[in-house]
Amino acid sequence: MKLINLAFFILPFFTAVSAVAVAEPAAPAFEFKVKKDADVASTVEVRREFAEEGNLQKRACTNNGCTCAKGSAQGQYCGYCNAVTGKGSASLWELEFAVASTHLNNNDPHPDHPGRIHFARSDQCRLTPDSEQRARVHEAIYVALHSAGLPMGPQPICDYMSWFVTDDLTIDPPHRNAPCNSPVYRWHSAEVILPALYFRPESLTQIRVACATISTEFRVAATRTTGLHVHVGDGADGFSHSTVRNLITLLWGFEPQLQTLFPPHRHSQTWCMPLRVDSMYAWRHPDWTIATFLEDMFSSKFGTVGALVRAFEVFGGDRCAVEFSNLDDPMVAIKQTIEFRAHPGTLDGDDVIMWVKTVVGLVQWAREADSSQLMSLMAYAEAGNGEFSITSLLKMLGLPEQVEFYKGKLHPLIVAAENAGREYEIQDLARPRTDVLEEFGIGADGVATRDNWTEDLIFDPYC
């Protein structure tokens, strides 16, 4: 049985998070330890169960799509053993957020928050230009993530193999009346790009630590102009035609259900437009039905990945909620990924991890499903959200953890009003998570006291 080998990236912590899943069909053995989520909140414990079959090591985590030698139990073992022929899934994320700072002479608007707000030199009396202050903020974030033990390069280079801190000028500050804001704050946009990580429990814990480090060490907010972007890829070869076709069919058929995972203002933003609203296919086929859509998807005119990508690219906006353009761009040799852009920005590590698990689950289902399974599922697409909800869909896709996580957090499927996004007027600073840092042996000074990860979690896109 051939399983998926996913990797992910996360870009901008607040504004955007990207995850990329990348397959590596013949990679060497991987990490020397496996960390298992002990509960939905991703509490981590180191656990290994040695199997009776020689030195094969019994999997203590969820299936990550590793492949094993012929004759071995596929997807059940991991570790340093000769049976492993593929490392499994990997992904990339992009995280964006706004960071507050102020002058040393100003009173602290939130004295109970542990986050840092002073970045200028203590002997500096002049007003620091925004560009210089923003550079100091980015440097401080880089140092904080490095101190927490995350893999940072010796210098800031975006090579998808280490964490990278940069800028995104599309990020707006918080609402002027929001509790997190203050007249003495100057807000700076920041973007954190994660390396391409294999989709494993141990990789996901890097997200928890990064989110906890940023929300504890700094005063930050995931403002309305931020989003969580997750890239999912399948190795250097990219996705097969059947996988892309199955995924587009799944996303189109159940887009209303998936939209209930997000607040209404995310349903019409130009950077994450619904496929049914602003894709080329939607504009060219305004009178589509599920029956005609399925007939098209299995016709010869959509017989290549390139044809599918061009048909479902954005028409009038800037991006669709799911972007396939990287799969058909001759200039993109490294990031052969599908990008999920609909999720609002967040620094809640549990929210980020569950969304990554969800989109990887969608891709894995599309990869493994045959046409009969797809058609059986699409029979429910005509039912509508009232009769067949997102929780029903997640159950049928074999994602019970997501069902439990999302069932009490669903949003109404309505057209966004002019005042949509009012929740940002009462937005507070991201919650400090010293409990997460303590769990991973990161002291009050922000310095890791032990190694939590191995380099083998990172997918090398240049090999």
Instruction: Answer for the pair 10, 230: CB distance below 8 angstroms, yes or no.
Output: yes
242: which 2 tokens? 């059947």
| Model pTM score | 0.81
Count of other CB atoms within 10 angstroms of residue 313: 18
Between CA 179 and CA 185 the distance in angstroms is 12
Instruction: Calculate ∠ Cα 190-419-225, nearest 5°.
Output: 10
Q: What pLDDT score was predicted for residue 366?
A: 97
- Supply the pLDDT for residue 383: 81
Q: What is the pLDDT along the chain (463 residues), one digit of tens a residue?
A: 333 456 665 443 333 334 333 333 322 222 222 222 222 223 222 222 323 333 344 433 333 444 555 555 544 444 334 454 444 445 566 788 999 999 888 999 999 999 999 997 766 666 667 788 899 999 999 999 999 999 887 766 777 788 889 888 889 999 999 999 999 999 999 989 888 888 988 899 999 999 999 999 999 999 999 999 999 988 666 799 999 999 999 999 999 999 999 998 899 889 999 999 999 999 999 999 999 999 999 999 999 999 999 999 999 989 999 999 989 876 665 668 999 999 999 999 999 999 999 999 999 999 999 999 999 999 999 887 778 999 999 999 999 999 999 999 999 887 655 556 678 888 999 999 999 999 999 999 999 999 998 767 888 777 6
Residue 60 is predicted with a pLDDT of: 36
Handedness of CA 250, 251, 257, 258 (dihedral sign): positive
**pLDDT given for residue 226 in this prediction:** 92
CA-to-CA distance for 258 and 355, rounded, in angstroms? 11
| Model pLDDT, residue 423 | 81
State how far the Cα of 36 lies from the Cα of 201, in Å rounded to an integer: 6
Q: Which 8-state DSSP code applies to residue 152? A: B
Q: What pLDDT score does 359 carry?
A: 97
With left for phi above 0 and alpha for psi between -120 and 50, is residue 162 left, alpha or beta? beta
The long-range contacts involving 120-129, CB below 8 angstroms and separated by at least 24 positions, are: 127/103
8-state DSSP, 132: H
**Helix spans in 104-148 (H):** 130-147
Tell me the angle at which helices 241-253 and 290-297 cross, rounded to the nearest 10 degrees: 170
Cα dihedral value 221, 186, 117, 13, nearest 10: 30
Q: Are strands 84-86 and 220-221 parallel, antiparallel or unpaired?
A: unpaired
* Tokens matching residue 378: 């699409």
Residue ranges of the alpha helices (H) in 218-332?
Answer: 241-253, 255-259, 275-278, 280-284, 290-297, 305-311
Measuring CA to CA, which residue among 415, 3, 52, 444 is closest to residue 198?
3
Residue 445 neighbours by CB under 8 Å, 6+ apart: 147
